[in-house]
Amino acid sequence: MSLTQVAYTSRRVIKYGGIGLVGFLFFWWGLGAAIKIYKTVHPPYVAPTVRYGVIDKVFFPEKEFQKKEFVAELPNDSFPKYSDQAKVYFIYRSKSIIGALEEGIKTAASMGFVSDPKEAGIGVYLFNDNNTGRSLTMNVLQSSFKLSYPYLTDQLLLNPEQMPNKEQAISTATNFLEQAGKIGTDLAEGEKKVSFWKINFDGLKEVTALSEANIIRVDFFRKKLVEDFQVVAVEVGKAPVSVLVSGSSVAAKKVVEVNYQHVNVDTSEASSSTYPIISSKEAFENLKMGNYWPVSDTSTSSVVIRKIYLAYFEPVNLTQFMQPIYVLEGDGGFVAYVRAVTDTYAK
């Protein structure tokens, strides 16, 4: 082979070899990208961690109800699909009554209750403010309390000179909770719902407009959890933290009632754990068998279920965990809760 032929062949090898190398690199890059996309769309299955072992079932308050017949008519005629597992969140609670009482006394003092409390039960203490006529009942173990002023019998509150608007009522209620050290990020960033009420001869009656009201109620809902699931409570549309704001110009009468039932939930990855849950279809089957808790019942004997979704239940007892539940909504304002964690891991 002559030098000319050798040079010609070398140039062709370099040319097509370079093209082949570039093609191989593009292929390798594309293969890597495809694998990465596949893993993103189809991540490897990770079993529930169940780091806390068997936990207590979600506790619902006692309520008598008649079982009904249920039919599901859902969007797209299909049950919503969720993962076979959901997070369970740890709740911080004081284990010492003495330590909890010390903290409770500080909270009471920040709201103007400086007298010594009276013990009314295990972890329950009563505070009185004789100067303003207010009272405070606090469960130091549950971190819950109720502040009350006898607003129903105060004639001066019936016709206030000027009622606060929605924004002012929210500001007054928020400032009061901040002063008490009882509004963390979860409440500050959550939804705040305002409703209007009028003092009636037998209590409070909800009205539709501010012009009719002499009391404004502000409900503080916990912000949605990491998975964007909402947190539901024992009453539809009402939060376990609420403040009644009046139109009084007297500082001690601006906030006439506070209902506070709220726990500190650790939403960090370090403390949360995943637990196996039933499917939405299994939740509906539990509903049909009567294994549910009616949040809002109806007098009809049969109900059509229109919506099913996963949420978290705001604890009402001394549990250490916030757990997922299924919410089932139907005709006639019917709403029911069904426990989501499987019976194997929730007793």
One pLDDT digit (tens) per residue for the chain, 347 residues: 555 554 555 555 555 555 666 665 666 666 666 556 655 656 788 899 999 999 999 999 999 999 899 999 999 999 999 999 999 999 987 767 788 899 999 999 999 999 999 999 999 999 999 999 999 999 998 889 999 999 999 999 999 989 999 999 999 999 999 999 999 999 999 999 999 999 988 889 999 999 999 999 999 999 988 778 999 999 998 999 999 999 999 999 999 999 999 988 998 888 999 999 999 999 999 999 999 999 999 999 999 999 999 999 998 888 899 999 999 999 999 999 999 999 999 99
CATH number, span 95-264:
3.30.310
116 φ/ψ angles, rounded to the nearest 5 degrees: -70, 140
pTM to 2 decimal places: 0.84
Strands (E), the chain: 69-72, 85-92, 118-121, 124-129, 134-139, 144-148, 192-200, 203-207, 215-220, 231-232, 241-246, 255-261, 264-266, 273-276, 293-296, 302-313, 321-322, 324-330, 335-339
Polymer length of the chain: 347
> Quick one: pLDDT at residue 98?
83
Region of 53 (left: φ > 0; alpha: ψ -120 to 50; beta: rest) is left
Bridging pattern class, strands 231-232 and 302-313: parallel
Selection from 138, 248, 245, 228 nearest residue 192 by Cα: 245
The end-to-end CA distance of the chain, in Å, is: 87
> Quick one: pLDDT at residue 339?
98
134 touches 147 (CB < 8 A):
yes
> Quick one: pLDDT at residue 21?
60
> Quick one: pLDDT at residue 146?
98
